[in-house]
Structure 1
């Protein structure tokens, strides 16, 4: 007779375990301690197989019958149900350790050596804010292109088009890492190329050449911290990126050789960069030394000598000077490029000094080996030009454009 829930509930423990048959090789085992569990007993390749299907009442009578039916189907297909259960258990354990978030953090840790600390933090912050809430808990193999698209479209919908594009790239890199570590076979992010609206390139506002005399007048008259004024002047003279200036360390400078060598890990393009120092730049470096004190940085934070000046300091200073929305510290690079090109300097030399990426590897190697003396002359010309601008009379009643 098939079992009933009443029969199962009324089954009492004995001194030894015993079985109650439900039919079709399904049994209920009752232990001396009163426990009750479901067993499916069959033969596979001539050997007895005993498959545990769970404990009663957590696994009900009807659920046990369904599991027994599935085991019989596996036998019909030539599959050992006991072995299949072990494989499924292992797969489930692997899924738990191969979630998108776990793999993303693993990828992030692996890539840390290639990134600056600030860049690494921004990448992880974007994943934690926009990706992990949706995709983080999911096994990497269950993530589909529509899931990824939904995730990045939410970012795009709030107007952060460029961020959405970057997040999509980062998701793709995590999926690529999963493939390389044999935990996935397909990168669904690669199916989404062109799915997002292209972000409009917005160049940072740059100071017009004719505005330089007025700029220097305002810089001198504005009540700014001495270190901020020196940083602003050195930024214009060297036209490096503001982040490269803020992180400048004393060990990078050789004043006898008139050189500032920025290591690869601090450069956007991950390639070391040489900045020939003009006489005026050297004077500024010497002037900041007493203000830097024992800090390893030329321009340290006001609250911690081991941390660089805030990334907002120079921008706020330009805002106070009246250039809010019309010019930025990063824009000095565009200004230098415009003036130097107008004055007839070799574009290759200008581009090399701007540390722009050279896509042609042979040409890039040549650039690293050449142009140093030409760049020294160009940087000194630029410093002398700025000196002349700072001593000119500013344009009267000129409105900053």
Structure 2
């Protein structure tokens, strides 16, 4: 009876249950499980969650940082913490062993990329038009580009941006009372 209970409470079993409970898209669940399969399951997957210590977690994180990089280690830490949160809340573990080692690895440094040039932005928008995707994502992406100041004549001005036949966005700077007309070359032709 005890062995049966321990096998149902292994890190891998709880992790799979945690991922199944998430309301993520199937591809996100698959990616998260793939990461756990590569990074965490080989070292702690067969251990009962109650027996996993901060030393186990630190070993997983150091190995992940060395083999896969700091961003994968950071994702593994967040994911394992979520798994242990479920284990603690369902009384299968007493504590979250990721907490004591949360600062053991250096923070993942942000890497800034160069800005896109006008031709690259145009190509990106053309590529995105054929991409498809969810309606909300497409609208958010298009609106994001409305908020980016244009490269030349309209910098700092307010613009009327046509996103399609029925969708027009009016942009206004907060310090202005009324929008001014500002047409870019693409708006003039559309």
TM over 0.5: yes
Provide, for residues 67-106 of structure 1, a one-character-per-residue CA deviation record: whole Å limited to 9, x for no partner: xxxxxxxxxxxxxxxxxxxxxxx33321121100011001
Higher relative CO (CA 8 A, sep ≥ 6), structure 1 or 2?
A: 2
Q: Which residue of 2 aligns with 1:102?
A: 13
8 Å contact kept, 2:147–2:171: no
8 Å contact kept, 2:77–2:102: no
Bigger share in strand: 1
Q: Which residue of 2 aligns with 1:376?
A: 169
Provide, for residues 240-272 of structure 1, a one-character-per-residue CA deviation record: whole Å limited to 9, x for no partner: xxxxx5424xxx4xxxxxxxxx1xxxx6xxxxx
> Could you list the runs of 4 or more consecutive aligned residues of structure 1 that deviate by over 4 angstroms after TM superposition?
214-217, 273-278, 333-336
Please, which of 127, 141, 163 is the counterpart of residue 231 of structure 1? 127
Q: Supply the distance in 1 between the matched residues of 2:2 and 2:187 (Cα, whole angstroms).
A: 72
SS of residue in 2 equivalent to 1:167: helix
How large is the Cα RMSD of the aligned pairs?
3.8
> Does residue 129 of structure 1 match 2:38?
yes
Q: Which residue of 1 aligns with 2:184?
A: 385
> Does residue 337 of structure 1 match 2:148?
yes
Structure with larger Rg? 1
Relative distance call for 1:204 and 1:335 in structure 2 (3 A) is: farther
User: What are the ranges of 5 or more consecutive residues in structure 1 without an aligned counterpart?
Assistant: 1-89, 220-227, 236-244, 253-261, 268-272, 279-332, 346-372, 391-401
Please, which of 247, 255, 262 is the counterpart of residue 133 of structure 2? 247
Aligned residue pairs total 171
Q: Which residue of 2 aligns with 1:61?
A: none
User: What are the ranges of 5 or more consecutive residues in structure 2 without an aligned counterpart?
Assistant: 159-166, 173-179
